Amino acid sequence: MFYHCVSRVVDRRFAFSPEDKEKFRTFLRMYENFSGCRVLTYCLMCNHLHLLLEVPPPPAGGISDGELLQRLRAIYNGPVVAGVARELDEARRKQRDGLAGDGYAEEIRARYTYRMHDLSEFMKSVMQRFTRWYNGARKRSGNLWEDAFKSVIVEDGCAARTMAAYIDLNPVRAGMVEDPADYRWSGYGEAMGGGAKGNGKKARAGLVRALTAHQGGEADARNWPGRVSEDYRRMLLEEGVEKTGEVVEKGGRRGVRAARKGMERKKAEAEMSRLSRGGDGATGMMLRRRVRYFTDGVVIGSRGFVNGVFAALRERFGAKRKDGARRMRGMGEAAGHLWSMRDLQKGIG
C-alpha cells in the first residue's frame, strides 16, 4: 500500500536548517532499513515534510532471527544488538531443552517487530527520534510537530506518479529552487545528486518503484537510467515552469509578472526538446492545480480502487453513504483519471 504523509511543525514556523534536514534524512533512511517500509520519494521543507511511503506486508515466512538482527543494526549500536542476539540464543536453547515455552523467543522478538511494516509506527519512530535530537541540539523541550501526521492512501500507476511529482516540485513552487534537481533534501534531488553520505541509489530505487509499480516494477536503481528517468524529468519540467500572466498596473500600464514561481520557460522548453518522449497531458493538468486532495483526500486512485477501499472500511462511514469514489473537482478533463474518498469543494485550484 502507498501513502502520502504530511506533517507540519508547531505554529508552522520556519524551523529546519540545512543541518536539520540532513539529520532528518539520516533518521528517515535508518528507520526505512529497520522497518521494512520503503520511502519512494520525499521533500523536507523548512516547516513541513512530505513522504510517499510504501508499507508492504511482512515476509510470508516471517522475519528470521538473522534478518531481525540486521534490521536492528540500522537504529541500535553494536552492544545493544549483541545483547539481543544473546537473549535470542538463550531463549532458543531453553525452548529446545524444554525449559521455556514455544513462545519465549517470540516475546523477545515482539519488542521490535511490532514497529515493522506499520505506517503509524514508522512515522512515530522517525518523528520522535528527530524531535529528541532537535530538542537536545537547541536546548528546548516539548512537541515539535503540529498534531498527528496526515496520510492519504495512493493507488499505484497514475496516482502514485502524480503524487511523486507533486512532492518533488514543492521547493520549485515555493521559489526555493528553479530546478527540482537542485533541491538536495528531496527524493528527486537525492536521486540526481546524491545525499551527504550516499550516492542517491536509495532515492533512485524508490522513484523507480513509485513510477513503475503498476507494471510490476521493483525498487531497483538499475532501472532508473533511460526511459524512467527521462519520462519523469520531462513531467517535472513541464509542471515546474514559471507561469506568467498579464497584469494591469496603476496608471493603466500593462506588464507581465510571475503568477507561479518555477523554471524559466525557455530553459525548460530547451531541455524538454532534447528528451525523446512526450509527457502525460492529463497528469500535467492535475499538477497545474493546487490540489488539496493530495493532503486531505484520504484515498487517491481510480474509481474502482477508491470504492474497494471504501468497501473494506464500510463501518467507518454513515449508513446513507452508498459508495466511496468522488470525482476530483477543479481539474477539467484530468478529473476522470483520479478519484478521491472525499468530495472537497473549498481551497481547490
Structural domains in the chain? 2-57+147-288 (3.30.70), 65-113 (no CATH)
**120 closest CA partner among 5, 281, 240:** 5
For 102, phi and psi rounded to 5 degrees? -65, -25
pLDDT tens digits for 9-33?
987 787 899 999 999 999 999 999 9
240 in Cβ contact with 166 (< 8 Å): no
The CA distance from 335 to 329, in Å, is: 7
pLDDT at 333: 46
Higher pLDDT, 214 or 294: 214
Q: What is the pLDDT confidence band of residue 332, given thresholds at 50, 70 and 90?
A: very low
Q: Is 152 helix (H, G, I), strand (E, B) or coil?
A: strand
Distances (CA, A) of 206 to 40, 188, 254, 262: 4, 10, 46, 25
Mean pLDDT confidence for 323-342: 63
DSSP codes of every residue in 10-58: GGG-----HHHHHHHHHHHHHHHHHHS-EEEEEEE-SSEEEEEEE-PPP
Q: Which amino acid is at 113?
A: T
Higher pLDDT, 316 or 122: 122
Q: What is the pLDDT confidence band of residue 57, given thresholds at 50, 70 and 90?
A: very high
Mean pLDDT confidence for 303-328: 76
pLDDT above 90 for 53: yes
309 in Cβ contact with 155 (< 8 Å): no
Higher pLDDT, 231 or 276: 231
pLDDT at 292: 54
pTM of the predicted protein model: 0.80
Residues 6+ apart with CB under 8 A from 52: 2, 3, 4, 5, 39, 40, 41, 42, 154, 160, 163, 164, 167, 187, 206, 210
pLDDT above 90 for 337: no
pLDDT at 124: 96
Q: What is the pLDDT confidence band of residue 349, given thresholds at 50, 70 and 90?
A: very low
Query: Residue 211 class from Cβ within 10 Å (0-12 exposed, 13-18 middle, 19+ buried)?
Result: buried
pLDDT above 90 for 347: no
The CA distance from 209 to 223, in Å, is: 10
C-alpha cell at 182: 537542485
pLDDT above 60 for 278: no
The alpha helices in 97-216, defined as continuous H runs, are 104-113, 119-138, 158-168, 170-173, 187-193, 201-212
191 in Cβ contact with 224 (< 8 Å): yes
